[in-house]
Amino acid sequence: MSRPLARHKFGAVRTVRGGITFDSKAEAKRYDDLQAMEKDGKIVGFMRQPVFYLPGGTRYVADFLIFWADGRVTTEDVKGVETEAFKIKWREVQAAYPWMEFELFKAKR
């Protein structure tokens, strides 16, 4: 018997797509959008949860790493609530990887 998905501490609803559990509906929707973009040829592909190692032994896990058809590579994070810990790591990852383009998608509440 399967157990219902628990609610996230900030009210996000965990969502399953194709056997993959996402932390929120917004992240699952972005996954759907990326799959459609890949099918349409706008992107070559994408990866879920790429890890970036930061100074001091910490790490930042983004939601998606996207390989665009025009050769760009971007990193995306989908957030409903920006915690102080997230804001610190967001600044750190951008400073540690200045050549990478980082984008933040804010979930509509």
Domain count, the chain: 1
Continuous segment of H or E residues that includes residue 90: helix 84-96
Q: What angle do CA 45, 82, 31 make, to 5 degrees?
A: 20
pLDDT number for residue 65: 97
CATH code for the domain of 78 = 3.40.1350.10
Whose CA is closest to 19, among 10, 28, 8, 11? 28
pLDDT in tens, 8-45: 556 677 777 878 788 788 888 999 999 999 999 999 99
Is 82 domain-assigned? yes
Q: 65-98 pLDDT, tens per residue?
A: 999 999 999 999 998 888 898 899 999 999 999 9
User: Is residue 1 assigned to a domain?
Assistant: no
User: Which structural domain range is residue 43 located in?
Assistant: 15-106
Q: Grade residue 106 by pLDDT with cuts at 50, 70 and 90.
A: confident
Within a domain: residue 2? no
pLDDT (0 to 100) of residue 3: 55
Task: Specify the length of the chain in residues.
Answer: 109
Whether residue 28 is contained in a domain is answered as yes
Lowest mean pLDDT among 19-28, 54-63, 98-107: 19-28
